[in-house]
Amino acid sequence: MTPVRIAVALLLAACSCAPALAGSDDGKDGKSGGQARSSKAKSPSPETKAKPSSPEKEDVDTEHLFGFTEGTDAGEKGQQEVVFDSVSRIGKRRAGPGPSHYRAFDARLGYQFDPIDRLSIEFSAFGTLHRVRTIADLDDKAFGTFDGASIDVKYQFLKGSAEQPVGFALEVRPRFTRILPIEGNGADVFDLETLAQVDVQIVPNTLWYGSNVSFEPAVGRQRGSGEGYRSSTFVWSNALVGEVADKTYLGPELRYLRGYDGAFLNRLESQALTLGPALHHRFTEKAWITLAYAGQIWGRDSDPAFARRALGLGQFERHAVRLKLGLEF
């Protein structure tokens, strides 16, 4: 075969193969090739890839954050909560030699609901246990009984946040009680605690300061003797807590207490300064625990018989422990 014939044969073969090759290329463009171009168009270059943003922390509910001190949060419309709240009060001045102890355990079971935003209403029932032996000015006794009921109404005027760190609320707690808190005698007493609450986010979602000022007058009559009962208490409490682990908060709490004879701060009987830790932990979004201890570090009694003695044990105890458990729904 001459070179010319070979060239013509190659040219004809090339012409016959061109449409098939073109169809094959079009098929690739319509399927895999087209997808490849689309994928390249959607995939950002390494330079334009955005870094994943870290999720923002939710605002912490401060209502039960501070131990004995109450936070300002009051919840949103429709929220409900069941709370078990107990305070153990231990230790007073002995009356003489021999075994001596003072233990009072006060427990409360409460149901709270929020009819509107920032307003909470709570109904509570109380129980108490007393164990007293060889204590100055008190009769020996050991008993446990139902101790009345209360209704708490709280409104939050300012809600703290990272942008606006200050919270403020007012709460009133009218209560009927059947037992005198120190003596343990039967009585019919009405008291009305008024509580101003402030908290501040010092470091957003990390460090909080809480403060309460409360005034609690009580009036009533002892059962049996018919003797009248008048007392009042002033308390200023302060707490500083920080997040030490995930959903766990810990810090010191300092409280100043004054107890009076008379319903309107008439005659000072005892004053005390207590210090201790406050711990709050959330097991889940809806379940939590608060635990606090307050030990008396300074105090005075006005009674001349004890005026030179350390600590204010006439109206207050050496030690107090608070345990609160809550479930929201």
Question: At 217, which CATH number?
Answer: 2.40.160.40
**pLDDT confidence of residue 162:** 87
Q: Do 130 and 269 sit in the same domain of this protein?
A: yes
Counts for the chain of helices (H) and strands (E), in that order: 2, 12
Q: Do 152 and 90 sit in the same domain of this protein?
A: yes
Query: Cβ(160)–Cβ(199) under 8 Å?
Result: yes
Q: Do 191 and 270 sit in the same domain of this protein?
A: yes
| Secondary structure element (H or E) that encloses residue 122, with its range | strand 119-133
Domain assignment present for residue 138? The answer is: yes
Across the chain, which has 329 residues, the per-10-residue mean pLDDT values are: 42 41 41 39 45 60 97 95 98 93 98 97 98 96 98 97 95 98 96 98 96 98 94 98 97 98 97 98 97 98 92 97 97
Q: Do 92 and 201 sit in the same domain of this protein?
A: yes
Q: Do 33 and 167 sit in the same domain of this protein?
A: no
Domain assignment present for residue 60? The answer is: no
Q: What is the domain extent for residue 256?
A: 80-328
**pLDDT confidence of residue 184:** 96
| Secondary structure element (H or E) that encloses residue 321, with its range | strand 319-328
Residue among 311, 320, 266, 327 at smallest CA distance from 69: 320
Q: Do 35 and 88 sit in the same domain of this protein?
A: no
Q: How far is 141 from 306, CA to CA, in rounded Å?
A: 23
Domain assignment present for residue 137? The answer is: yes
Q: Do 37 and 92 sit in the same domain of this protein?
A: no
Burial group, residue 286, by CB count within 10 angstroms (0-12, 13-18, 19+): exposed
**pLDDT confidence of residue 58:** 74
Q: Do 36 and 158 sit in the same domain of this protein?
A: no
Domain assignment present for residue 239? The answer is: yes
Q: Do 205 and 291 sit in the same domain of this protein?
A: yes
Domain assignment present for residue 75? The answer is: no
Domain assignment present for residue 65? The answer is: no
Domain assignment present for residue 61? The answer is: no
Q: Do 280 and 133 sit in the same domain of this protein?
A: yes
Q: Do 31 and 130 sit in the same domain of this protein?
A: no
Q: Domains in the chain: how many in total?
A: 2
How far out from the chain centre does Cα 280 lie?
Answer: 6
Task: Read off the pLDDT of residues 208-218 as tens digits, 9 standing for 90 and up.
Answer: 999 999 999 99
Q: Do 28 and 85 sit in the same domain of this protein?
A: no
Domain assignment present for residue 13? The answer is: yes
The vertex-250 CA angle with 319 and 286, nearest 5°, equals: 105
Residue among 219, 118, 221 at smallest CA distance from 171: 118
